[in-house]
Each structure stands twice: as C-alpha cells, then as structure tokens.
C-alpha cells in the first residue's frame, strides 16, 4: 500500500504503478486552529502488510503530515512501515553551524525514525545524513535520470557542478548521457541568498553546458553559474538538479541569467519535474 503526503501525490501514484501496489486515498484537512489532519479512512478495513509512506518534507506542514501518516499506518496494523523521503527537508542543516545551534537534520531524522522501520531518501545533500536515523536508512541515487530530458544534440558538452561537492552528480549525469567532460567551480556561500563562484580555467566558448546540482533552492548558485558561463561565451546553458525546490524568485533569476532550459525530478513536484524517480525507488523497495 502506497500512502502519499500531499506534496508527493504524483510520485506516490507513479510508485504504486511501478510496484503494482494499491494507492491509498488520503485526505488532507486543516482545522480552524491551523492544525493538520492527514488520514486515509477505509484503509483499516484492508489487509496491509507493508505501508510505504511517500512524503517529501518540503515544509513544516509536510513533516507533520508524514508523522501522521506513519502513525495511521501503524494503527491499521501494517506489519512494516517504510518511509520514502523523495526530498528530505532540513538535510542541509547537518551540523551545528554556530554555538547553540541545533543539528536540525538529526532532530527531524529522530522524529521520523520513531514511526517507521526503514527509510529511503533520494540524493540527500550528504549521504552521511542517513546516520542520523535510528532505523536502517539508505540514500538512493537518482541522478542518472537527469540525462533523460537533455537534448540529444549537445555540442561537446561540459557537465559542470557549481561546487566540488556536486561533482559526482555531474559525473553521473555525464555517464548517463554518454558523452562530454566534467568540471566544477569553487563556491563560497556568503549568506542564505548570496554565493561567490570562482570559475575553472576550462575554455567553454561555443560549447553546450549542463550545470548539475543536488538542489536548486533560491537559485543563487545556479543563476551565478549560468551568468559566468554565458559571459565566457558558452553556447547553450542548461541547468538540471535532483530537487527543483525553486523557492521564491529562483526561476526569474535563472531566466535573467540566460538559462536555456531547467530540468528536475519529481522529488519536488514542480512544472520542471520532467523525470520521475519512481523506477529508481521501486528497484530499491
């Protein structure tokens, strides 16, 4: 039985189809005081061996919904509750950056662990975040799927990551595409919305560029990279990421920087979610 959080309904349906498992009818309500209720009335009458709760924790509400759906699955008598976090919110807060700060990724991982037997999460910012869970947790690499929507006629492409940490994603996308070089920029984060990028010496003039990252959040990183590549005479600049958060005016920033196309997966359901990670998750389940 697949049970979807409200932010992961399309992926939940794809996963149910890929696994040939029933998709629960979930209702999402909000009480007048603002509290949420995510429930699946009727499921209790069916035999549920394994409940797979699929919920990207893109907001505080999504976190609460997830905890409620895990709890409901236990109430129905599911023998095993598996939690799929297509996108794990707070994963980037994986250390206490200043004295007195929490390790937020650990805090949410502990809460999620209390309602499940196993966790899968797609391309977390660092795989080590899985160690924060108190049940078996594994990272799922879906980056190879990002090659699917790219044009087939890329001209001597360079798959570039805007920082060294995402170079493995760039290499995975290049390998899946089947041609091209990899490269990376140096990045220094100045604030939540400001970054400083230092380009490499690679001559990109006349070449098609594919900038890859795990997530586009505010779009500051990607729009900065696109701007630099256009200044250096690149031909077309595409951006692709696993988690297209695209918060606030990220799409505008990317458009102003001269991006040719934006592609992401359905770990976060957005208009640019061109590829589904359902098959990768189905294999792991």
Catalytic residue annotation: 187
CB 29, min distance to ligand R5P, A: 32
Which of 217, 225, 237, 257 lies at the binding interface for ligand R5P (CB under 6 A)? Answer: 217
Answer for the pair 211, 184: CB distance below 8 angstroms, yes or no.
no
Which of 1, 150, 216, 242 lies at the binding interface for ligand R5P (CB under 6 A)? Answer: 216
Q: x-or-dash pattern for ligand R5P, window 74-113, by CB under 6 A?
A: ------------------x---------------------
As a whole number of angstroms, the distance between CA 116 and CA 85 comes to: 12
CA dihedral sign of residues 144, 148, 151, 153: positive
- Burial call 106-139: b when 16+ CB within 10 Å, e when fewer: bebbeebbebbbbbbbbbbbeeebbebbebebeb
> Hey, what are 245's tokens?
């958060």
Q: x-or-dash pattern for ligand R5P, window 8-27, by CB under 6 A?
A: --------------------
As a whole number of angstroms, the distance between CA 285 and CA 281 comes to: 6
- Burial call 216-249: b when 16+ CB within 10 Å, e when fewer: bbbbbbbbbbbbbbbeeebbbbbbbbbbbbbeee
Region of 28-36, 55-63, 126-134, 163-171 interacting with ligand R5P (CB under 6 A)? 163-171
Q: Could you say whether residue 219 binds ligand R5P (CB under 6 A)?
A: yes
CB 163, min distance to ligand R5P, A: 5
CB 51, min distance to ligand R5P, A: 31
CB 162, min distance to ligand R5P, A: 6
Q: Could you say whether residue 237 binds ligand R5P (CB under 6 A)?
A: no
For ligand R5P, how many residues bind (rule: CB under 6 A)?
16
Which of 213, 227, 269, 274 lies at the binding interface for ligand R5P (CB under 6 A)? Answer: 213
Tell me whether residue 215 or residue 268 sits nearer to ligand R5P (CB atom).
Answer: 215
Which of 55, 84, 105, 166 lies at the binding interface for ligand R5P (CB under 6 A)? Answer: 166
Tell me whether residue 133 or residue 185 sits nearer to ligand R5P (CB atom).
Answer: 185
Q: Could you say whether residue 218 binds ligand R5P (CB under 6 A)?
A: yes
> Is residue 212 packed enough to be buried (19+ CB in 10 Å), middle (13-18) or exposed (0-12)?
buried
CB 252, min distance to ligand R5P, A: 13
Q: Where are the beta strands (DSSP E) in the chain?
A: 2-4, 27-30, 36-39, 50-54, 80-85, 118-122, 137-140, 158-161, 181-184, 186-189, 195-198, 209-216, 237-244, 261-265, 273-275
Tell me whether residue 156 or residue 193 sits nearer to ligand R5P (CB atom).
Answer: 193
Q: Where are the beta strands (DSSP E) in 1-40?
A: 2-4, 27-30, 36-39
Residues forming contacts to ligand R5P in the complex (CB under 6 A) are 92, 162-163, 165-166, 195, 213-222
């Amino acid at each position: 039985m697949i049970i979807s959080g409200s932010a992961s309904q399309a992926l939940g349906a794809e996963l149910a189809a890929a696994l040939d498992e029933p998709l629960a009818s979930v209702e999402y309500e909000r009480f007048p005081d603002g509290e949420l209720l995510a429930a699946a009335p009727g499921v209790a009458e069916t035999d549920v061996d394994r409940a797979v709760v699929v919920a990207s924790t893109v907001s505080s509400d999504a976190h609460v919904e997830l905890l409620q759906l895990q709890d409901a699955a236990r109430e129905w008598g599911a023998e095993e509750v598996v939690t799929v976090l297509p996108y794990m919110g707070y994963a980037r807060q994986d250390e206490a950056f200043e004295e007195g700060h929490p390790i937020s990724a650990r805090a949410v991982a502990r809460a999620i662990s209390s309602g499940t037997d196993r966790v899968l999460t797609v391309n977390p910012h660092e795989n080590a975040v899985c160690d924060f869970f108190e049940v078996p947790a594994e990272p799922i690499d879906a980056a190879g799927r990002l090659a699917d929507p790219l044009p087939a006629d890329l001209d001597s492409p360079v798959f570039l990551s805007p920082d060294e940490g995402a170079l493995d994603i760039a290499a995975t996308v290049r390998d899946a595409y089947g041609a091209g070089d990899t490269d990376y920029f140096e990045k220094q984060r100045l604030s939540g919305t400001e970054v400083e990028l230092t380009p490499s010496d690679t001559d990109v003039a006349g070449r098609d560029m594919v900038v890859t990252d795990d997530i586009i959040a505010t779009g500051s990183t990607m729009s900065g990279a696109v701007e630099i590549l256009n200044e250096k005479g690149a031909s077309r600049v595409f951006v692709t990421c696993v988690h297209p958060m695209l918060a606030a005016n990220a799409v505008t920033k990317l458009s102003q920087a001269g991006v040719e196309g934006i592609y992401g997966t359905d770990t976060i359901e957005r208009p640019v979610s061109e590829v589904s990670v359902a098959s990768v998750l189905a294999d792991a389940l």
